[in-house]
Amino acid sequence: MVPEAVLNTGGLVEGAFKEAATAKVTVQNLRRNISILSGAGGNIAVLTGPDGMLLVDAGIITAHPHVSEVLASINRDPIRLLINTHWHFDHTGGNEWMHEAGATILAHENTRKHLSQPTRVEGNWQYTFPAAPEGAIPSIVFKDEHTLDFNNTTLMLKYYSPAHTDSDISVYFPEADILHTGDTFWNRDYPFIDYASGGSIDGHISAAEANIAKVTDKTIVIPGHGAVGGKADLILFRDVLVEIRDKVAALKRQGKTLPEVISAKPGARYDAEWGNLFQNPADFAALVYQGV
């Protein structure tokens, strides 16, 4: 067996741990009793009220002190319920401390599966995540849909078909008309596609279509990464994925190698704006190339 230190040669995950340790976490009220925290990894939605705090996603583990501080600036209520949009470390890293602080964790059954065992991520992550500690593992899971009431607010959870991973869910707040898409939507950043845990470019595009179908012009959309947006941003995201997928597929059909496809710059129109977060233009072209 190869030691973990050898497997985890990728700097992306280590870099994210380091960055989140010092990044500033900010809070923004969206509508009614729902806010988001940004800067801790994936965007975290916070629902407040008489039942205590409910969070959608938990950030990167190293952001813990900053997340705690910002939550305390909202109010001192305990975190009662935590929903994970999928299993990735930048959305579940806070699971253990939030559970210890009293939160029950709810997620798709494949989030529990991936957190319960060592899971390898390829692409530009090149990282093997060990099984999460007991307290970090969701105790309530579902398969297709799950609706609940918390803080006099309805939450509708829905599983996507495999898209970014095989564990992605959306969380919709109908009274406030706010949709949290998890990492099926990145607002002006190229998405990561986790093929090793069931993701694909075509699945990502199907999820993008599903998100567009779910919203109106009035819906507030919380992406996994990037600024809060709306329907027009979901449409742009879908269009960017489709355009790059089609270009890369055509080049691959012509027999072009991956380095040749990267040199052809299939995302030239978007690279300067979209290639600055986890995936640079070459990383994203490689992720698409793998799936066409």
Alpha-carbon span 167 to 113, nearest angstrom: 9
Task: Quickly tell me which residue has 């949290």 as its tokens.
Answer: 180
The residue range among 26-34, 57-65, 87-95, 132-140 that interacts with Zn ion, by the rule CB under 5 A, is 87-95
The three state secondary structure string of 119-182 is EEECCCCCEEECCCCHHHCCCEEECCEEEEEECCEEEEEEECCCCCCCCCEEEEECCCCEEECH
The residue range among 129-137, 196-204, 212-220, 223-231 that interacts with Zn ion, by the rule CB under 5 A, is 223-231
Instruction: Please report which helix (H) or strand (E) contains residue 262, including its range.
Output: helix 258-263
Beta-strand pair 104-108/79-83: parallel
Alpha-carbon span 272 to 275, nearest angstrom: 6
- Residue 34 near residue 74 (C-beta atoms within 8 A): no
Establish if 224 lies at the interface with Zn ion (CB under 5 A).
Answer: yes
State which residue, 42 or 226, has the beta carbon closest to Zn ion. Answer: 42
Letter for the amino acid at 289?
Answer: Y
| Nearest of 242, 28, 56, 86 to residue 155 by alpha carbon | 56
Could you tell me the smallest distance in angstroms from the CB atom of residue 221 to Zn ion?
15
The residue range among 83-91, 103-111, 131-139, 143-151 that interacts with Zn ion, by the rule CB under 5 A, is 83-91
Establish if 226 lies at the interface with Zn ion (CB under 5 A).
Answer: no
Establish if 189 lies at the interface with Zn ion (CB under 5 A).
Answer: no
| Nearest of 207, 202, 217, 142 to residue 181 by alpha carbon | 207
Task: Among 183, 233, 271, 283, indicate the residue that binds Zn ion (CB under 5 A).
Answer: 183
The residue range among 46-54, 139-147, 179-187, 262-270 that interacts with Zn ion, by the rule CB under 5 A, is 179-187
State which residue, 96 or 183, has the beta carbon closest to Zn ion. Answer: 183
Task: Among 23, 36, 39, 42, indicate the residue that binds Zn ion (CB under 5 A).
Answer: 42
Task: Among 53, 64, 90, 241, indicate the residue that binds Zn ion (CB under 5 A).
Answer: 90
The residue range among 90-98, 233-241, 250-258, 282-290 that interacts with Zn ion, by the rule CB under 5 A, is 90-98
Could you tell me the smallest distance in angstroms from the CB atom of residue 38 to Zn ion?
12
Establish if 39 lies at the interface with Zn ion (CB under 5 A).
Answer: no
State which residue, 90 or 271, has the beta carbon closest to Zn ion. Answer: 90
The torsion of the CA quartet 161, 144, 40, 79, rounded to 10 degrees, works out to 180
- Residue 104's φ and ψ, nearest 5 degrees, are -85, 140
- What does the binding site for Zn ion look like in residue numbers (CB under 5 A)? 42, 88, 90, 183, 224
